[in-house]
Structure 1
Amino acid sequence: MTKFDPSYEESVSSIHNRLFFRLFQAGNTLDRQTTKTLGITTVQWAVLGALSRPQASEGMSFSDLAEYLVVSRQSLDGVMKRLERDGHAHRITDTADRRAKNVVLTEKGRTFWEALQPKIYEFYRQSLEGFRFDDKVSLVYFLNRLNEGMGDVDLEKENVTTRTPGSSRATAHK
Protein backbone atom coordinates (compact mmCIF):
# COMPACT_ATOMS: atom_id res chain seq x y z
CA MET A 1 0.00 0.00 0.00
CA THR A 2 1.52 3.35 -1.06
CA LYS A 3 0.35 6.82 -0.22
CA PHE A 4 -0.97 7.16 -3.78
CA ASP A 5 -3.09 4.05 -3.38
CA PRO A 6 -6.80 4.84 -2.67
CA SER A 7 -6.83 2.20 0.07
CA TYR A 8 -3.97 4.07 1.80
CA GLU A 9 -6.08 7.23 1.88
CA GLU A 10 -9.05 5.28 3.24
CA SER A 11 -6.97 3.74 6.03
CA VAL A 12 -5.45 7.13 6.96
CA SER A 13 -8.92 8.66 6.96
CA SER A 14 -10.18 5.77 9.07
CA ILE A 15 -7.46 6.16 11.72
CA HIS A 16 -8.03 9.94 11.82
CA ASN A 17 -11.74 9.35 12.35
CA ARG A 18 -11.11 6.79 15.10
CA LEU A 19 -8.55 9.05 16.82
CA PHE A 20 -10.89 12.03 16.98
CA PHE A 21 -13.82 9.85 18.00
CA ARG A 22 -11.73 8.39 20.86
CA LEU A 23 -10.86 11.95 21.96
CA PHE A 24 -14.58 12.77 21.91
CA GLN A 25 -15.32 9.66 24.00
CA ALA A 26 -12.48 10.43 26.43
CA GLY A 27 -13.80 13.97 26.92
CA ASN A 28 -17.31 12.69 27.58
CA THR A 29 -16.03 10.01 29.99
CA LEU A 30 -14.02 12.68 31.81
CA ASP A 31 -17.13 14.89 32.06
CA ARG A 32 -19.28 12.03 33.37
CA GLN A 33 -16.71 10.70 35.83
CA THR A 34 -15.73 14.06 37.33
CA THR A 35 -19.35 14.94 37.97
CA LYS A 36 -19.97 11.50 39.49
CA THR A 37 -16.78 11.16 41.56
CA LEU A 38 -15.79 14.76 42.35
CA GLY A 39 -19.16 16.47 42.29
CA ILE A 40 -18.01 19.17 39.89
CA THR A 41 -17.94 19.55 36.13
CA THR A 42 -14.70 19.50 34.15
CA VAL A 43 -15.03 23.22 33.42
CA GLN A 44 -15.54 23.98 37.14
CA TRP A 45 -12.47 21.81 37.82
CA ALA A 46 -10.48 23.74 35.22
CA VAL A 47 -11.60 27.16 36.52
CA LEU A 48 -10.78 26.29 40.14
CA GLY A 49 -7.44 24.84 39.06
CA ALA A 50 -6.56 27.89 36.97
CA LEU A 51 -7.47 30.30 39.77
CA SER A 52 -5.56 28.29 42.38
CA ARG A 53 -2.24 28.68 40.53
CA PRO A 54 0.31 30.97 42.23
CA GLN A 55 0.35 33.33 39.22
CA ALA A 56 -3.41 33.84 39.67
CA SER A 57 -3.29 34.47 43.43
CA GLU A 58 -4.64 37.99 42.87
CA GLY A 59 -7.13 36.69 40.30
CA MET A 60 -7.11 37.09 36.55
CA SER A 61 -9.19 38.91 34.00
CA PHE A 62 -12.31 37.17 32.79
CA SER A 63 -11.04 37.38 29.20
CA ASP A 64 -7.63 35.93 30.10
CA LEU A 65 -9.30 33.09 31.99
CA ALA A 66 -11.55 32.25 29.02
CA GLU A 67 -8.53 32.31 26.71
CA TYR A 68 -6.39 30.23 29.08
CA LEU A 69 -9.10 27.56 29.36
CA VAL A 70 -9.96 27.74 25.63
CA VAL A 71 -13.67 28.21 26.37
CA SER A 72 -16.13 30.80 25.15
CA ARG A 73 -16.94 33.78 27.34
CA GLN A 74 -20.59 32.61 27.37
CA SER A 75 -19.64 29.15 28.60
CA LEU A 76 -17.33 30.59 31.25
CA ASP A 77 -20.06 33.00 32.36
CA GLY A 78 -22.43 30.10 33.10
CA VAL A 79 -19.76 28.25 35.07
CA MET A 80 -18.84 31.41 36.97
CA LYS A 81 -22.46 31.93 37.99
CA ARG A 82 -22.49 28.46 39.58
CA LEU A 83 -19.11 29.01 41.28
CA GLU A 84 -20.28 32.40 42.58
CA ARG A 85 -23.55 30.87 43.82
CA ASP A 86 -21.52 28.26 45.73
CA GLY A 87 -19.18 30.95 47.10
CA HIS A 88 -16.07 29.48 45.42
CA ALA A 89 -15.19 32.44 43.19
CA HIS A 90 -16.33 35.94 42.47
CA ARG A 91 -15.93 38.67 39.90
CA ILE A 92 -14.62 42.06 40.84
CA THR A 93 -14.27 45.23 38.80
CA ASP A 94 -10.73 45.80 37.51
CA THR A 95 -9.20 48.86 39.18
CA ALA A 96 -7.43 49.98 35.97
CA ASP A 97 -10.33 49.37 33.57
CA ARG A 98 -13.75 49.78 35.19
CA ARG A 99 -15.38 47.92 32.25
CA ALA A 100 -13.30 44.77 32.80
CA LYS A 101 -13.92 42.08 35.40
CA ASN A 102 -11.37 40.02 37.26
CA VAL A 103 -12.12 36.56 38.58
CA VAL A 104 -10.87 35.68 42.04
CA LEU A 105 -10.92 32.44 43.99
CA THR A 106 -12.56 33.00 47.40
CA GLU A 107 -11.18 31.57 50.63
CA LYS A 108 -14.07 29.09 50.59
CA GLY A 109 -13.13 28.19 47.01
CA ARG A 110 -9.47 27.70 47.95
CA THR A 111 -10.48 25.47 50.88
CA PHE A 112 -12.83 23.51 48.61
CA TRP A 113 -10.07 23.11 45.98
CA GLU A 114 -7.53 21.95 48.54
CA ALA A 115 -10.02 19.44 49.97
CA LEU A 116 -10.54 18.03 46.44
CA GLN A 117 -6.83 17.41 45.87
CA PRO A 118 -6.64 13.88 47.37
CA LYS A 119 -9.64 12.80 45.27
CA ILE A 120 -8.20 14.43 42.16
CA TYR A 121 -4.86 12.68 42.57
CA GLU A 122 -6.60 9.37 43.17
CA PHE A 123 -8.68 10.03 40.03
CA TYR A 124 -5.42 10.62 38.11
CA ARG A 125 -3.80 7.52 39.62
CA GLN A 126 -6.66 5.21 38.74
CA SER A 127 -7.15 6.69 35.26
CA LEU A 128 -3.48 6.33 34.35
CA GLU A 129 -2.82 3.07 36.20
CA GLY A 130 -1.84 1.14 33.04
CA PHE A 131 0.59 3.81 31.83
CA ARG A 132 4.34 3.87 32.40
CA PHE A 133 5.94 7.23 33.21
CA ASP A 134 7.32 7.52 29.66
CA ASP A 135 3.85 6.78 28.25
CA LYS A 136 2.44 9.70 30.24
CA VAL A 137 5.17 12.07 29.06
CA SER A 138 4.62 10.95 25.46
CA LEU A 139 0.86 11.37 25.75
CA VAL A 140 1.29 14.95 27.03
CA TYR A 141 3.69 15.67 24.18
CA PHE A 142 1.36 14.28 21.51
CA LEU A 143 -1.74 15.95 22.96
CA ASN A 144 0.15 19.27 22.95
CA ARG A 145 1.09 18.71 19.29
CA LEU A 146 -2.51 17.80 18.42
CA ASN A 147 -3.81 20.89 20.23
CA GLU A 148 -1.33 23.08 18.34
CA GLY A 149 -2.30 21.44 15.06
CA MET A 150 -6.00 21.99 15.71
CA GLY A 151 -5.25 25.62 16.59
CA ASP A 152 -3.57 26.05 13.21
CA VAL A 153 -6.46 24.61 11.18
CA ASP A 154 -7.61 27.02 8.49
CA LEU A 155 -9.94 25.39 6.00
CA GLU A 156 -10.22 28.66 4.05
CA LYS A 157 -6.51 29.18 3.30
CA GLU A 158 -5.17 28.81 -0.24
CA ASN A 159 -4.34 25.42 -1.69
CA VAL A 160 -6.29 23.42 0.86
CA THR A 161 -6.63 19.93 -0.54
CA THR A 162 -9.77 18.06 0.33
CA ARG A 163 -10.65 14.50 -0.42
CA THR A 164 -14.05 13.00 -0.49
CA PRO A 165 -13.98 9.98 1.85
CA GLY A 166 -13.45 6.86 -0.22
CA SER A 167 -12.21 8.87 -3.20
CA SER A 168 -8.63 9.03 -4.42
CA ARG A 169 -9.27 12.31 -6.22
CA ALA A 170 -8.08 15.45 -4.48
CA THR A 171 -9.55 18.86 -5.13
CA ALA A 172 -7.36 21.88 -4.51
CA HIS A 173 -9.19 25.03 -3.43
CA LYS A 174 -7.60 28.35 -4.37
Structure 2
Amino acid sequence: MSDQLMPYPDEILYHLMRNFSLPQWTILELLTRAESGELEDHEKDPTLSLTDLHDFIKLSQQNFRAQVALLHGSNAIALVTGVTDQRSKNVVLTENGRRMLELRGN
Protein backbone atom coordinates (compact mmCIF):
# COMPACT_ATOMS: atom_id res chain seq x y z
CA MET A 1 0.00 0.00 0.00
CA SER A 2 1.42 3.32 -1.00
CA ASP A 3 0.13 5.21 2.07
CA GLN A 4 2.00 2.97 4.52
CA LEU A 5 5.23 4.09 6.10
CA MET A 6 8.49 2.27 5.70
CA PRO A 7 8.93 -0.60 8.18
CA TYR A 8 10.25 0.56 11.52
CA PRO A 9 13.42 -0.86 13.09
CA ASP A 10 12.82 -3.55 15.72
CA GLU A 11 13.82 -1.20 18.58
CA ILE A 12 10.99 1.16 17.67
CA LEU A 13 8.53 -1.71 17.27
CA TYR A 14 9.46 -3.05 20.72
CA HIS A 15 8.90 0.42 22.16
CA LEU A 16 5.49 0.76 20.48
CA MET A 17 4.25 -2.69 21.44
CA ARG A 18 5.35 -2.67 25.08
CA ASN A 19 1.98 -1.34 26.20
CA PHE A 20 -0.25 -3.22 23.76
CA SER A 21 -3.31 -4.67 25.43
CA LEU A 22 -4.93 -8.04 24.82
CA PRO A 23 -7.59 -6.50 22.53
CA GLN A 24 -4.87 -4.92 20.39
CA TRP A 25 -3.02 -8.23 20.01
CA THR A 26 -6.34 -9.92 19.26
CA ILE A 27 -7.05 -7.44 16.45
CA LEU A 28 -3.63 -8.07 14.91
CA GLU A 29 -4.10 -11.84 15.15
CA LEU A 30 -7.58 -11.61 13.59
CA LEU A 31 -6.15 -9.68 10.66
CA THR A 32 -3.45 -12.34 10.20
CA ARG A 33 -6.12 -15.04 10.21
CA ALA A 34 -8.19 -13.06 7.68
CA GLU A 35 -5.17 -12.85 5.35
CA SER A 36 -4.65 -16.59 5.48
CA GLY A 37 -8.34 -17.47 5.16
CA GLU A 38 -8.59 -19.00 8.64
CA LEU A 39 -11.55 -16.91 9.80
CA GLU A 40 -14.86 -18.71 9.83
CA ASP A 41 -17.43 -17.27 7.40
CA HIS A 42 -14.81 -14.99 5.84
CA GLU A 43 -13.10 -15.69 2.55
CA LYS A 44 -9.35 -15.20 2.26
CA ASP A 45 -8.88 -11.44 2.15
CA PRO A 46 -6.15 -9.24 3.64
CA THR A 47 -8.75 -6.71 4.82
CA LEU A 48 -11.62 -6.76 7.25
CA SER A 49 -14.27 -4.08 7.45
CA LEU A 50 -14.44 -2.23 10.74
CA THR A 51 -17.90 -3.74 11.25
CA ASP A 52 -16.71 -7.32 10.67
CA LEU A 53 -13.67 -6.80 12.89
CA HIS A 54 -15.88 -5.38 15.64
CA ASP A 55 -18.21 -8.38 15.35
CA PHE A 56 -15.26 -10.77 15.81
CA ILE A 57 -13.71 -9.02 18.79
CA LYS A 58 -16.89 -8.22 20.80
CA LEU A 59 -15.80 -5.00 22.52
CA SER A 60 -17.93 -1.96 23.21
CA GLN A 61 -17.95 0.41 20.25
CA GLN A 62 -16.05 3.07 22.20
CA ASN A 63 -13.35 0.65 23.39
CA PHE A 64 -13.06 -0.91 19.94
CA ARG A 65 -12.56 2.48 18.26
CA ALA A 66 -9.89 3.37 20.85
CA GLN A 67 -7.99 0.11 20.21
CA VAL A 68 -8.14 0.63 16.43
CA ALA A 69 -6.93 4.23 16.82
CA LEU A 70 -3.95 3.13 18.95
CA LEU A 71 -2.98 0.42 16.46
CA HIS A 72 -3.35 2.83 13.56
CA GLY A 73 -1.25 5.42 15.38
CA SER A 74 1.55 2.89 15.87
CA ASN A 75 1.36 1.95 12.16
CA ALA A 76 0.48 -1.65 12.98
CA ILE A 77 -2.68 -1.38 10.86
CA ALA A 78 -3.87 0.81 8.02
CA LEU A 79 -7.39 2.02 7.36
CA VAL A 80 -8.39 1.95 3.70
CA THR A 81 -11.53 3.08 1.94
CA GLY A 82 -13.90 0.29 0.94
CA VAL A 83 -13.94 -0.69 -2.72
CA THR A 84 -17.69 -1.10 -3.13
CA ASP A 85 -18.76 1.53 -0.59
CA GLN A 86 -16.57 4.63 -0.37
CA ARG A 87 -18.08 5.46 3.04
CA SER A 88 -16.83 2.24 4.63
CA LYS A 89 -13.39 1.68 6.12
CA ASN A 90 -11.45 -1.55 5.96
CA VAL A 91 -8.56 -2.54 8.20
CA VAL A 92 -5.38 -4.12 6.87
CA LEU A 93 -2.30 -5.37 8.70
CA THR A 94 0.89 -3.46 7.83
CA GLU A 95 4.41 -4.85 7.60
CA ASN A 96 5.05 -3.28 11.01
CA GLY A 97 2.04 -5.13 12.44
CA ARG A 98 3.27 -8.45 11.03
CA ARG A 99 6.73 -7.85 12.47
CA MET A 100 5.25 -6.96 15.87
CA LEU A 101 3.48 -10.32 15.91
CA GLU A 102 6.76 -12.05 15.02
CA LEU A 103 8.64 -10.20 17.76
CA ARG A 104 5.92 -11.04 20.27
CA GLY A 105 6.47 -14.73 19.56
CA ASN A 106 10.15 -14.46 20.56
TM-score, structure 1 normalization? 0.44
Residue identity opposite 1:45 in structure 2? W
Structure 2 unmatched runs, 5+: 1-17, 38-43
Give the corresponding residue for 2:9.
none
Judge conservation of contact 1:43–1:79 (CA < 8 Å) in 2.
yes
How far has the Cα of 1:77 moved from its partner?
Answer: 1.1
Letter in 2 for 1:43: P
Question: TM-score w.r.t. structure 2 length?
Answer: 0.69
Alpha-carbon offset, residue 57 of structure 1: 4.9
Structure 1 residue ranges (4+ consecutive) displaced by more than 3 angstroms after TM superposition: none
Aligned length: 81
Picking from 96, 101, 105, the partner of 2:84 is 96
Q: State percent identity of aligned pairs.
A: 30
Q: Does 1:108 align with 2:88?
A: no
Report the counterpart of residue 9 of structure 1 in structure 2: none
The structure with the larger Rg is: 1
CA shift for structure 1 position 66: 0.4
Equivalent in the alignment of 2:19: 39
Listed one character per residue, the Cα deviations across residues 60-85 of structure 1 (whole Å, up to 9, x for unaligned) are: 00000000011133221111111111
Gaps of 5+ in 1: 1-37, 119-174
Asked whether the equivalents of residues 48 and 113 of structure 1 are also in contact (C-alpha less than 8 Å), the reply is: yes
| 2:29 partner amino acid | G
The reply to whether residue 52 of structure 1 matches residue 32 of structure 2 is yes
- What is the aligned partner in structure 2 of residue 17 from structure 1? none
What is the CA distance between 1:40 and its match in structure 2? 1.5
- Quick check: 1:91–1:104 contact (8 Å CA) kept in 2? yes
Distance between the aligned counterparts of 2:78 and 2:65, measured in 1?
11
Residue 61 (structure 1) aligns with: 49
Distance 1:67 1:82 in 2: 19
Q: In structure 2, what is the Cα distance between the partners aligned to 1:95 and 1:51? A: 18
Higher helix residue share: 1
- The C-alpha deviation readout for 1:10-35, integer Å capped at 9, x for no partner, is xxxxxxxxxxxxxxxxxxxxxxxxxx
Per the alignment, in what secondary structure is the counterpart of residue 92 of structure 1? strand
Distance in structure 2 (CA, Å) of the matches to 1:95 and 1:72: 26
